[in-house]
Structure 1
Amino acid sequence: MKNLPKSLKPENHRSTVALTRSSLFNFVALLIGVFLLASCMLLFLARDLDKTEEEESAFYTAKAVHASERGVASTLKDYAFWGDAYKHLHLQVDPEWAYVRQNIGATLYADFGFQGLFVIDESGRTVYAVVDGELKNISIEDWLGQPSGALVAQARKVASEETPVTSFMNVNGVPAIVAAAAITPGTDPTVEPDDRSASVLIFVDVLTDDKLAKLGRDYGVQDLRVAAPTERHQASYFALGDNGEGGALRWTPPTPGHRLLALGLPLTGFAALLVCLMAWVILRRTTAAASALDESYLSLQRSQAALATSEARFRDVVEASSDWVWEIDQDWCFTYLSERFEAVTAFSRQDWIGVSIDTLLNSQMGTVSQWLSIPNRKPDITISCRYIDTQGEERVTRLSARQLPEGGFRGTATDITEEVEARRRIEFLSQHDALTGLSNRVRLQEFLDGKFKALPTKEQPLVMLSLDLDRFKPVNDLLGHAAGDRVLNDISARLSECVRHGDLVARVGGDEFVLILTDAKDPEEVESLCRRLIESIEMPVVVDEQEVFVSASIGIAMAPTDAREAAELLRYADIALYEAKAGGRSTWRFYAGDMNARIIERRRLESDLRFAIKHGELRLHFQPRFRIADGKMVGAEALVRWQHPQRGLVSPEKFIPIAEETGLILPLGDWVMRTACNYAAQWPAHLFVSVNLSPAEFKRGNLIARVQQALDESRIAPSRVEFEITEGVMLEDAVGALEVMHKLKRLGVRIAMDDFGTGYSSLSYLRTFPFDGLKIDRSFLTRLGESEDDQTIVQAIVGLGKALSLTVTAEGIETAEHLALLKAVACEEGQGYFLSRPLEAEAFDVLLGETQSSEFNKKS
């Protein structure tokens, strides 16, 4: 033993083994620390992800509830501050006007889902109540199950401001939005207010499960529902009203952290188990080496080799992770960078060893060294840093660090560039239109809210332009939606180029835009911008080597001159836009008070028309149609007239568009069809009746069933009924129109094309669609005697009709010269004031009893 080298003597060997074992235990402890750190980081990240999702869900839940509350208040405002409501629900309670005429009745339940509508008079009594769309004799307290006096008093308190008040209440265990507003005349100058306390109109919107589920889908909140009493004061909880007196909502937030833990923790545990197994193997080998003194030198070598292998394995574990590991000394310079540093950053490790960490990384909180120098800094806190990679692009990394006992720091860096970009993209899409990149309604509302908080003045007004494209629908119909999208993108870019920095351009609908101007000093400057906008939009857009032309109409409203709230400003700009379109399009209009009066007048006309259809104020006139060759009457066209008790005879040009826009065209068309067939069934068998079909009526409703019902009720032969349709029916949906027309033909009725020659491609329609006849538009006859072109066109149409075996009818015959020219070109049928004006039913019956042939020949 004495002859052994000093390093291999047993006592020295035993001390070396002890040191090796100690180092091994320290190494295992370090690995355990690394795995614990990784596990803690996973737990922290999972908790942070779940918490973030929880906060976002709570944010969108609050936003959804507030949006619903504002929607109920906005709808209530339109009805409460209305002169007619003041006359019929405050000065006197008129259920006929409110419920029967559906001014404030069942339609609010069908269209908006308001389960309760109540009117409270000055004494606190419920004088009008509609529950679930039905007129009821019930007080609001009995239906709500709680007093409503405080809400009513608050609504009367703000009556002068014409502002609704809202509250959340618990109605039979279900939360509800209750909105109340004092009934005022609004801007109606025809109503004289009385001295009584204002009556109060109350809308109740019960938040049923179906409504909450739809609201959750609209705002991306999963499983939005009413919270049970046992679920209160838990996570994912939103109280309605003060202290939750109106109930509460619950939802199920996403849990990405749970999924992360389900994947990360097993992997970390497996790695830890593998390391423990490695440590156990090393420990056994070290123990075996210590027990064999005669092999001490070989054992030492094996121990050193095992240690080297262990270190290599440790490096492999570190490099297998997605993070890169770093160490710095007390001077903040890198002393170690793992191999993953090169894979992630594309930098060379050797180039950065000895370089300050502040040279590579920077953050919004200052330099990394300043962050590491914060006293009592928690070791589990991370910081986001940025650096420029070798391609010149900015990358984002999350840095974590722990201080080393001998000074300096060691930590990990995780590249989160894609995560940051994804969050930024989600935030952008939540406030911008996906097609054009312009602001959407959410961004528009936030922008307006911010500007109104700054209180715009007359010297520095806030100007809103409501812009709608003209002639855009034919682009989609004729060229396809892809072409329409390209046009919208081009127009959006032009709008953005016309405004200043700080203004806002938003797309709020298919071809609807809103522009907010923040620095327009006077109306002349606004008009100049409108002129530039229309000129820019009217420039051609090239789509697949084809030039497309559109234009625009603009409505203008200004705050605080016109409105002091965002919702009012939007509504007034839309009213002005409606006036611009009515004024001929491709122009602009500033909002004026009388525009609102016209809207009110239109609403009254709509209400009166609804009443007229139900109570027999409509009349049918018949304009005879004659065979030009021999003067015999062959039929008559049914024309609807409205005999209003106060307005007198209302022109169809005035009430037909209203019927088409509001959906009243269906009951109106049913009445015309049934009445015309019933009258015509009493005529001689050789006469037919012609009925006009509106394009809106052709598209909506079960037209075939309605026609069949009219034929069955009147028992008229289907061949004696003719329907006149315009080319607009085919333009909007050619395939669907062709299918409907074939079904009509199978019923046995005739079909004629009205206003022929004024459309885009009437010739192709005549060849494809099953028409029996066509009517020459009256515009060709007005200059028939003075325009050779019009004579040629009429002659060509007659020839075309004969070639296709179609009956050709000329409209608008007003002179003997018209009749002679039509007879000369062998036009088959005609109608017009020269032959006969439209007659009431009684006058038409008298005409049937007379001999028409001699009269016709005498005129000709």
Structure 2
Amino acid sequence: MLAANLASVIALATLMHFWVPAHQLGIWGTVTSGVAAYIMWRRRRVHSGADGYAEPVDVRNTAIEGLALAAVWSVVPMVFCHEAPTQTAPGSGIILAILMTAAAFAMAPLVLATLCFVLGLGGSVAIGLAVDGELPAAFGVLLFALLLAAICISRAHTLVALRAASIALEERDETVSLLLREFEESDADWLWETDNARRVVKASPRFALACGLDLVSINGMPFLQVLAGPAWETGDFAPGLRQLSEKLKARQSFRDLRLPVRVNGEERWWELAASPRFDERGNFCGFRGVGSDVTQQRDAADKINRMARSDTLTGLPNRLSINEVLVRALLDAEKWRSRCAFMMIDLDRFKAVNDTLGHQVGDRLLSRVAERLARLMTENAMCGRLGGDEFAVVVRDASDLLAIEQLARRIIETLSRPYDVDEHTLHIGASVGLAIGPRDGKTAEELIRSADLALYQSKDAGGGVFHAYEPRLHAQAEERRVLEQALRQALEKGEMYLAYQPVVDADTGLLTGFEALLRWNSADFGNVSPAKFIPLAEDARLIVPIGDWVLRAACDEAARWPGHARVAVNVSPEQLHNPHFVTTVASALATSGLAPERLELEVTESVFMHEGMGATKVLERILELGVRLSLDDFGTGYSSLGYLSRTRFSTIKIDRSFVQGAAKGAPEATAIIRAVVALARSLGMATTAEGVETEAEHHMVRDFGCSKVQGFYFSRPVLVEEARHLAARREREAA
């Protein structure tokens, strides 16, 4: 642009020197050349920004430069052309047109400066012509200047787009180079390349090091031979290597392909990805790809997988792992038309260990159980822990049913032996539920459910035994489910009521009170036995609301009886573990108006197996209300004299099994009754014999010293009206 300005100055000076004074031409030429040189100097001093972008102030300064250059050149049309004759106009016009055109192309990247120069100079020429009356020529010059401005803007847009693309390409090349450099320098990644014959070419140092070979020997080797190692001679290839071979033959791209390789005698795991290469003619040139050593990641994944499928406490397979093994066993059984077996194992009396000795001792006990169970396993059987105190065994081939039953018995026998844990000798047992697949279930879920039903049968039988699944168990479970649904609505529908069994004085036979007994007359099932729906209510967590209703109903009814006849109400352990139970008792007494000493709550020994839950404290608060306590079924559970001394019971009830045993002459039952009576007397407690059905039994328990008796010999449980009648008659007899 400087050269164009200097050449134009010389050309105009030559054209005008006859008509324009020399000193004017000299001054103008000097100023114009100086301005052009100064602008060139400034352009040379301004360097491109590091990021390829100019500051706004730099762009604005270029407009000033364009205006300055346009101003000095405007002297020609505005001054010189008026002093020169008309024949010089075409020559000066051509020079200015060439100069403007050169500026539009040469200065296009500086679009603001170019527009100021072109439009400024073109405008001055158009004004000079308009002053001379040459309006068409002035309009043509102005149109020419605008056309050059449009060309300048278009060219500037193209140049900026090219420059932006160039900057992006440079940044991309720099980024790719950086990534490749880091990729090559990393410890586990490398680049690899093959020719069209699948031979290694251009092997990188990192790739050669990863293969345990040198650059000289690895180049030219078949790529599959490099990966196969010693297996290349034997042909014993890993599945991943065969898959890689198929991909290479088919010239298909692939990624995340994992395969084992042996490097210096050590097995490593690699992950490969590659794409085929083609030349400009479309001919196949080979493959180029990347590789990674993922041995550590695979080991970590295997460890996590083992942890996800192992029980952290015992080290045995967990529920997830057992389920997977069972699924495979069922598939094999169906494929080979054989059988598999699933055993569900539940520990008996384990909860008592946890409640009395703590969970730490319980956890150690579970570890010992796991060790014993694992020693019983063979290649055909796998054991695991389902959770809590439940274990499972999967037998892959259960064709010999007798052997399966023998294994179940050995499991029960082995797990029932005493355990020495933290200086404690612990006695627990085991119950087993057995299901055979696919007979008892075609899926893992069905087989587990069948084994669970069989286990439930074993627990109902008292534990320490195994039961195999039977179709009737499913029917019983369905009946239990439907019965539970009906039980949940029994109170709302008014289907429950109370019956009252008289309790009489053993010596006089006079009525002393009643025991309130819950009954259920279902609209769908008729009269349901308490032995059937009471355990169901406890399992379904319905015993608390039902027990609260029984307590309130019994207090309301007893308040209507004349005299001082007491009412005894059975209380479940779940009620005593409810912190609001004392408030419930107090509310029932206050609402009914029943005197506290006329209410007797009967509890069983199982309450004290959960001492940590505060049952003793609840009983103490109940005693503070004035309510009497009775210990039911003494001697049938985990009898302990300790809680007899800690809790002020008024009565000990002797279970009917001892009464019937003594009546048949069993010396053990007789000794137990005598011992209980003697114990009760020494502690100032009364004794009640349950289940007295004959006169002989009545005389027997009376001779033993029992204070009170109840049973069918005196009366069966009666309805409300008859209970009121008996209470009124007792009051008349007493009067």
Partner of 2:402: 524
User: Take 2:499 and 2:552, find their aligned partners in 1: how far apart are those partners?
Assistant: 14
Q: What SS class does the counterpart of residue 781 from structure 1 fall into?
A: helix
Is contact 1:432-1:440 (8 Å) kept? yes
Are 1:744 and 2:631 an aligned pair?
A: no
Are 1:827 and 2:706 an aligned pair?
A: yes
* Greater Rg by CA: 2
Task: Provide the aligned C-alpha RMSD in A.
Answer: 4.5
Measure how far apart 1:660 and its partner are: 0.7
Unaligned runs of 5+ in 2: 1-176, 191-208, 219-225, 234-240, 249-256, 272-291
User: Take 2:408 and 2:709, find their aligned partners in 1: how far apart are those partners?
Assistant: 47
Instruction: For residues 242-300 of structure 1, give each alpha carbon's deviation from its aligned partner in whole angstroms, at most 9, with x where no partner exists.
Output: xxxxxxxxxxxxxxxxxxxxxxxxxxxxxxxxxxxxxxxxxxxxxxxxxxxxxxxxxxx
Are 1:840 and 2:719 an aligned pair?
A: yes
Are 1:595 and 2:473 an aligned pair?
A: yes
Instruction: For residues 643-701 of structure 1, give each alpha carbon's deviation from its aligned partner in whole angstroms, at most 9, with x where no partner exists.
Output: 23464432211111111111221232122111111100111242221100122333357
Measure how far apart 1:521 and its partner are: 1.4
Q: Which amino acid aligns with 1:486?
A: R
Are 1:718 and 2:596 an aligned pair?
A: yes
User: Take 2:687 and 2:492, find their aligned partners in 1: how far apart are those partners?
Assistant: 37
Q: Which amino acid aligns with 2:487?
A: L
Which of the numbers 363, 366, 369 marks the counterpart of 1:491? Answer: 369
Are 1:704 and 2:582 an aligned pair?
A: yes
Measure how far apart 1:729 and its partner are: 0.9
| Structure (1 or 2) with the greater helix fraction | 2
Is contact 1:619-1:640 (8 Å) kept? yes
Partner of 2:659: 781
Is contact 2:258-2:269 (8 Å) kept? no
Cα 1:706–1:385 change in 2 (3 A) is farther
Partner of 2:434: 556
Q: Which amino acid aligns with 2:344?
A: S
User: Take 2:505 and 2:342, find their aligned partners in 1: how far apart are those partners?
Assistant: 58
User: Take 2:473 and 2:210, find their aligned partners in 1: how far apart are those partners?
Assistant: 70
User: Take 1:701 and 1:843, find their aligned partners in 2: how far apart are those partners?
Assistant: 36
Measure how far apart 1:612 and its partner are: 2.5
Q: Which amino acid aligns with 1:829?
A: K
User: Take 1:449 and 1:325, find their aligned partners in 2: how far apart are those partners?
Assistant: 40
User: Take 1:737 and 1:42, find their aligned partners in 2: how far apart are those partners?
Assistant: 72
User: Take 1:593 and 1:787, find their aligned partners in 2: how far apart are those partners?
Assistant: 39
Is contact 1:775-1:810 (8 Å) kept? yes
Instruction: For residues 702-733 of structure 1, give each alpha carbon's deviation from its aligned partner in whole angstroms, at most 9, with x where no partner exists.
Output: 32232233223212122221111101011023
User: Take 2:399 and 2:332, find their aligned partners in 1: how far apart are those partners?
Assistant: 17
Are 1:429 and 2:307 an aligned pair?
A: yes
Are 1:649 and 2:531 an aligned pair?
A: no
Measure how far apart 1:586 and its partner are: 2.9
TM-score, structure 2 as length reference:
0.59
Measure how far apart 1:788 and its partner are: 5.2
Which of the numbers 40, 45, 51 marks the counterpart of 2:182? Answer: 40
Measure how far apart 1:826 and its partner are: 4.3
Report the more deviating stretch, 415-424 or 551-560.
415-424
User: Take 1:821 and 1:594, find their aligned partners in 2: how far apart are those partners?
Assistant: 43
Q: What SS class does the counterpart of residue 626 from structure 1 fall into?
A: strand
Q: What SS class does the counterpart of residue 641 from structure 1 fall into?
A: strand
Instruction: For residues 592-643 of structure 1, give each alpha carbon's deviation from its aligned partner in whole angstroms, at most 9, with x where no partner exists.
Output: 3222111111122222322322212222111122233444322211011122
Is contact 1:461-1:558 (8 Å) kept? yes
Instruction: For residues 124-180 of structure 1, give each alpha carbon's deviation from its aligned partner in whole angstroms, at most 9, with x where no partner exists.
Output: xxxxxxxxxxxxxxxxxxxxxxxxxxxxxxxxxxxxxxxxxxxxxxxxxxxxxxxxx
Measure how far apart 1:756 and its partner are: 1.5
Measure how far apart 1:766 and its partner are: 0.8
Where does 1:17-166 land on structure 2 (aligned, <5 Å)? 40=182
Partner of 1:579: 457
Instruction: For residues 721-758 of structure 1, give each alpha carbon's deviation from its aligned partner in whole angstroms, at most 9, with x where no partner exists.
Output: 11111010110234511122123223332222111222
Partner of 1:801: 680
Are 1:694 and 2:602 an aligned pair?
A: no
Q: Which amino acid aligns with 1:618?
A: M
Cα 1:483–1:417 change in 2 (3 A) is farther
Where does 1:315-714 land on structure 2 (aligned, <5 Å)? 366=229, 423-454=301-332, 456-457=334-335, 459-501=337-379, 503-544=381-422, 546-645=424-523, 647-700=525-578, 702-714=580-592
Is contact 2:599-2:627 (8 Å) kept? yes
User: Take 1:532 and 1:498, find their aligned partners in 2: how far apart are those partners?
Assistant: 8
Are 1:812 and 2:691 an aligned pair?
A: yes
Cα 1:709–1:759 change in 2 (3 A) is same
User: Take 1:775 and 1:364, find their aligned partners in 2: how far apart are those partners?
Assistant: 83
Is contact 2:385-2:391 (8 Å) kept? yes
Q: Which amino acid aligns with 1:832?
A: G
Cα 1:517–1:328 change in 2 (3 A) is closer
Q: Which amino acid aligns with 1:795?
A: R
Q: Number of matched residues?
A: 501
Measure how far apart 1:781 and its partner are: 2.1
Cα 1:533–1:332 change in 2 (3 A) is farther
User: Take 2:707 and 2:572, find their aligned partners in 1: how far apart are those partners?
Assistant: 25
Q: Which amino acid aligns with 2:405?
A: E
User: Take 2:231 and 2:597, find their aligned partners in 1: how far apart are those partners?
Assistant: 90
Q: What SS class does the counterpart of residue 729 from structure 2 fall into?
A: coil
Cα 1:808–1:561 change in 2 (3 A) is closer
Q: Which amino acid aligns with 2:599?
A: V
Instruction: For residues 384-440 of structure 1, give each alpha carbon's deviation from its aligned partner in whole angstroms, at most 9, with x where no partner exists.
Output: 999999xxxx999999xxxxxxxxxxxxxx999998765543221111111111111
User: Take 2:180 and 2:581, find their aligned partners in 1: how far apart are those partners?
Assistant: 69
Is contact 1:395-1:415 (8 Å) kept? no
Q: What SS class does the counterpart of residue 782 from structure 1 fall into?
A: helix
Is contact 1:631-1:853 (8 Å) kept? no
Q: What SS class does the counterpart of residue 641 from structure 2 fall into?
A: helix
Cα 1:791–1:614 change in 2 (3 A) is same
Measure how far apart 1:546 and its partner are: 4.7
Partner of 1:67: none
User: Take 1:847 and 1:569, find their aligned partners in 2: how far apart are those partners?
Assistant: 55
Where does 1:229-268 land on structure 2 (aligned, <5 Å)? none
Q: Which amino acid aligns with 2:529?
A: S
Q: Which amino acid aligns with 2:558?
A: A
Q: Which amino acid aligns with 2:725?
A: V
Cα 1:688–1:519 change in 2 (3 A) is same
Q: Which amino acid aligns with 2:581?
A: L
Measure how far apart 1:543 and its partner are: 2.4
Unaligned runs of 5+ in 1: 1-34, 49-323, 334-362, 376-380, 400-413, 856-860
Q: What SS class does the counterpart of residue 808 from structure 1 fall into?
A: strand
User: Take 2:260 and 2:323, find their aligned partners in 1: how far apart are those partners?
Assistant: 32
TM-score, structure 1 as length reference:
0.51
Q: What SS class does the counterpart of residue 636 from structure 1 fall into?
A: strand
Measure how far apart 1:40 and its partner are: 2.8
User: Take 2:524 and 2:297, find their aligned partners in 1: how far apart are those partners?
Assistant: 68
Is contact 2:563-2:731 (8 Å) kept? no
Is contact 1:756-1:762 (8 Å) kept? no
Q: Which amino acid aligns with 1:535?
A: E
Cα 1:388–1:540 change in 2 (3 A) is farther
Is contact 2:356-2:610 (8 Å) kept? no
- Percent pairwise identity: 37
User: Take 2:596 and 2:707, find their aligned partners in 1: how far apart are those partners?
Assistant: 22
Report the more deviating stretch, 569-578 or 487-496.
487-496
User: Take 1:460 and 1:499, find their aligned partners in 2: how far apart are those partners?
Assistant: 20
